[in-house]
Amino acid sequence: MRGTEREILTPSSEEEAASAVATAAAAGRRLAIRGAGTRAGLGRPVVADATLSASGLSGIVFHAPSEMVICAKAGTPLAEVEAALAQHGQFLTFEPMDHRALLASTGAPTIGAVASANVSGPRRIAGGAARDSLIGVRLVNGRGEIVKSGGRVMKNVTGLDLVKLVSGAYGTLGFLTEVTFKVLPKSEAIATLVIHGLDDGAAIAALSAALGSPYEPTGAAHLPAGMDWSGARTLVRVEGFADSVTYRLDALTKLVAAGRRTERVDGTDSEALWRHVRDATYLADPHSDAVWRLSTAPTRGPELTAAIARQLPGARWFYDWGGGLVWLSTLAAGDAGAAVIRAATATAGGHATLVRAPEAVRAAVPVFQPLDAVSMRLTNGIKASFDPRGVFEPGRMYPSA
Amino acid sequence: MIPFPAPDKDILARRAEIVAGLSRLVPPAALITSENERRAYDTDALTAYRRLPLAVVLPRTTEEVAAVLSFLHQEKVPVVARGSGTSLAGGAIPQEDAVVVGIGKMTKILEVDFANRFARVQAGVTNLAITDAVRHEDFFYAPDPSSQLACTIGGNVAMNSGGAHCLKHGVTTNNLLGVRMVLIDGSIVDIGGPHLDAPGYDLLGLVCGSEGQLGIVTEATVRILRHAEGARPVLLAFPDSVKAGAAVAGIIAAGMVPVALEFMDQEAVAICEAFSHAGYPLGAGAMLIVEVEGSESEMEAQLARIVAIAGEHGVETVRESKSALETALIWKGRKSAFGATGRVADYICMDGTIPTGQLPLVLRRIGEIVASYGLRVANVFHAGDGNLHPLVLYNANDAQQSHDAEEAGNDILRLCVEVGGCLTGEHGVGIEKRDLMGVQFSRVDLDQQMRVRAVFDPAWLLNPAKVFPLEGRTPPFPVAA
């Protein structure tokens, strides 16, 4: 069965979740795992017998502002976590992307899904990925056992780091019940330097210089002409005390934008700009196009896109992470450009993930970068060590996991 | 004393044959067999425990590591990987039936790329040598364990090492982009690279901190960072530990995240000052080193706020560094804490982490625990992230004191877990905390970890005496005989 036709299991406690999984495992039933479903379109299509929902596991378990730590049940809406943090002037440092615009999904994204899919945004280059902030998890493995890893302290090297392993596993290793993140105080001021009119090569060079400067940008993106009504714009964001932000924006302007047309964007305008970058809304329409997410060494970004554009003339793209993250849309026909994109990525170094495409394409084309034989063997082994009967999210990442 | 598994008699009997096999794989200079030379590898920085290894191999290339592991795997001989042997947790202590595979000869810097902000190095490159290789462009590698002059990046990856400046820049796992690793069967795998966040299970995050139990890392790609415009530490002296602890909580609660926030109690201040003459305030009940960075005006603004908060908590002396020389001296004093302590007494160094809100309670309880054994303690630790380093002082020639010091240390770690923390924040479990794992983890938790471990090393050959308690390695996880 697919989609909404599936039976939905909604445990209201960790123990109930464990027992539901144990029952499913014994009966040979396969479970899709859902928070609010806003990211259900990520990965390969899953064929499951029932859905195990985290919506019954909701609420902040504790927030210790003076320890910069927050713990929430997996089904807690992300907005609730962010609001609790904001009350104490804190935030999640990795700026998690909201996939709703891109995937045309609805609902309230959950904190568990952020952990499970390792969802980061533009601030990843300065604040690390979601998995870097995730310091503890509780989960139910495919054997119906409750497993914990990590904890509530920021420095912890006790035993194998299963926290990292389950972050980015898209539910294939376990059903998260509780997640703990470290957080940071929000900066007093945030502002963005916008440089107009750079081509891709010049833009990425400017971003590299900015990121290699002592001024600590927390965002570094380039929007080529045609992303919206504006021409090409290169964005550098800095945060800190108000005086310091002004000082550093001025220094960056001298360093990377001498002789260029620039402007400073503050407040909600700056926030809106980065929200569009974070959520890749520039490529949301037309919704019939496929969308890829490519990661490479930043300075290789322009040659990577140029190589792809030569063979896929309709491709459109923009850059985040100083050029290291390329969001790229293609026609969804055929393999949605997979062969061309993966070949170009292999040359430049890095990897490509198919973020949006019709189910049939995601079933036929490897969504995640295909692994070498050794990594695939390890991946299958790890899957079996958590979920020997293949209960969770069958085939979400690879045919075998 | 912490038990080691009994050596496999069959392997000991086959020693000559195994050594002969190794000599066919690496040149004579890379193979150490004489008892005298093997002695140099019989322990690490947990010197109370020593075991003479069967042989020591010092390969120069990934391919040599692969050939050696493939052979030892076939022969079912345990393998203990070793960087510079600076583990405080006994992570590199060998066993009589094991071959030590040291990465100390793999010291090439392979690639430095400033535009993309990474360095790719062989695993035997020291932590500080990475920073030395990029210093001319004002870049650095962030994690800075106190042993950074000696410890290797391979060892740092194996233990997920931290340091004093982790509060802002994170530990090894947050600064590691990729590794080349050899598995026990000799296969070579590349994980990650100059790009970020490879999709698929996070093997990089799993390998980092796996204490030589999943494979041997031969190359690492690490993130390098540009230095801030300036960095300046300030020394804050308080009448007692409780007030200093409260000031730490106050600084963090005010939304300040200094680059480093270090705590030393009276005993530690006295020991470090005698060694380094850094100008630490002798007689203070406790001292904080708080470092801020940025432009001149940024540093001034931050320091003014920090000093004001310290004032609310009864600070007695405030001393800002006035020069690069003074800054270096301040950090020399802190980073030499373990070495300096070693000159006045034997010590065991604990490494638990606690929620920072529990700091005053835990400091008081540590004092009580150590006093109950009739011992002394020096506390020096990373206060910003709650990573404690109580140094329990004792006399190693006194069997009762040695025993009591271990017991006091164990009590302290149980306390850390009891208040919501963990056994080890940056040193690793090794052999030292192995038998306390059950305090922090349930049987189910440990079994899940061991099943993951078994995916990489089904025969349990890699550093087998470490991390997981010897009891409870129920099939399919063999107990070393």
Q: Does B186 touch chain A (CB under 8 A)?
A: no
Of A75-79, A267-271, B163-167, B188-192, least confident by mean pLDDT is B163-167
B140 within some domain: yes
Non-local (6+) Cβ contacts of B296 within 8 A are: B229, B230
Per-residue tokens: A68? 């910069």
Residues 248-287 of B with CB under 8 A from A: 249, 252-253, 255-257
Q: For position A5, what pLDDT does the model report? A: 61
Tell me the whole-structure pTM to 2 decimals: 0.96
What whole-number distance in Å separates Cα of residue B465 and Cα of residue B430? 8
What whole-number distance in Å separates Cα of residue A246 and Cα of residue A191? 8
Write down the ipTM of this complex: 0.97
Domain boundary among B294, B312, B337: B337
| Residue in chain A nearest B166 by alpha carbon | A155
- Domain boundaries A1-186+371-401, corresponding CATH code: 3.30.465.10
Q: For residue A129, what are the CA distances in angstroms to A95, B156, B166, B189?
A: 9, 21, 16, 23
Domain boundary among B288, B306, B337: B337
Per-residue tokens: B225? 């960072």
Residues 111-150 of B with CB under 8 A from A: 113-118, 138-139
**Chain A / chain B CB contacts < 8 angstroms:** 257
Determine the 3-state secondary structure of A76 from DSSP: coil
- B195 and A247 within 8 Å at the Cβ level: the answer is no
**H-helix or E-strand spanning residue B315:** none
- Do B255 and B326 lie in one domain? The reply is yes
Maximum CA extent, chain B: 70
Task: Please tell me the distance in Å from A164's CA to the nearest CA on chain B.
Answer: 5
Range(s) of the domain holding residue B275: 230-337
Q: For position A63, what pLDDT does the model report? A: 97
Q: Sign of dihedral through CA atoms B208, B332, B168, B142? A: negative
Of A2-16, B99-113, B316-330, B454-468, least confident by mean pLDDT is A2-16
B68 within some domain: no
Tens of pLDDT, residue by residue over A121-130, are 999 999 999 9
Beta strands A90-91 and A184-185, pairing class: antiparallel
- B210 and A148 within 8 Å at the Cβ level: the answer is no
Q: For position B475, what pLDDT does the model report? A: 52
Which residue positions in chain A have pLDDT lower than 70? 1-5
Residue B391 belongs to domain with CATH number: 3.30.70.2740
Q: For position B474, what pLDDT does the model report? A: 63
Q: For position A2, what pLDDT does the model report? A: 45
Which residues of chain A are within 8 Å of residue B255 when distances are taken between CB atoms? 89, 185-186
The closest CB to that of A158, out of B208, B228, B423, belongs to B423
What whole-number distance in Å separates Cα of residue B224 and Cα of residue B140? 6
Do A189-279 and A281-364 agree at the fold level?
yes
- Do B290 and B196 lie in one domain? The reply is no
Per-residue tokens: A230? 């504006």
What do you get for the CA distance between the two ends of chain B, in Å?
A: 19
Which residues of chain A are within 8 Å of residue B432 when distances are taken between CB atoms? none
Question: Per-residue confidence at B478, pLDDT binned at 50, 70, 90?
Answer: very low
B100 within some domain: no
- Do B178 and B236 lie in one domain? The reply is no
Per-residue tokens: B331? 């950090």
B446 within some domain: no
Burial of A29 (0-12, 13-18, 19+ CB in 10 A): middle
Whether the per-residue pLDDT at B289 is higher than 80: the answer is: yes
Per-residue tokens: A67? 């320890």
The closest CB to that of B355, out of A64, A148, A325, belongs to A64
**Is residue B145 within 8 Å of residue B156, measured between CB atoms?**
yes
Q: How is chain A split into domains, by residue range? A: 1-186+371-401, 189-279, 281-364
Which residues of chain A are within 8 Å of residue B357 when distances are taken between CB atoms? 64, 66-67
Maximum CA extent, chain A: 69
Domain boundary among B226, B254, B289: B226
Quote the number of domains for chain B: 3
Whether the per-residue pLDDT at B211 is higher than 70: the answer is: yes
Can you name the CATH fold of A281-364? Alpha-Beta Plaits (3.30.70)
**Architecture of A189-279 per CATH?**
2-Layer Sandwich (3.30)
Whether the per-residue pLDDT at B87 is higher than 50: the answer is: yes
Task: Please tell me the distance in Å from A229's CA to the nearest CA on chain B.
Answer: 31
Q: Does B385 touch chain A (CB under 8 A)?
A: yes
- Do B238 and B138 lie in one domain? The reply is no
- Do B276 and B183 lie in one domain? The reply is no
Question: Per-residue confidence at B471, pLDDT binned at 50, 70, 90?
Answer: confident
**Is residue A94 within 8 Å of residue A127, measured between CB atoms?**
yes
Non-local (6+) Cβ contacts of B207 within 8 A are: B157, B179, B181, B191, B214, B215, B217
Give chain B's mean pLDDT: 94
Which residue intervals of A88-236 are DSSP H helices? 100-103, 111-116, 124-127, 130-133, 162-166, 200-211
B391 within some domain: yes
What whole-number distance in Å separates Cα of residue A278 and Cα of residue A284? 12
Per-residue tokens: A292? 């890829």
Which residues of chain B are within 8 Å of residue A353 when distances are taken between CB atoms? 199
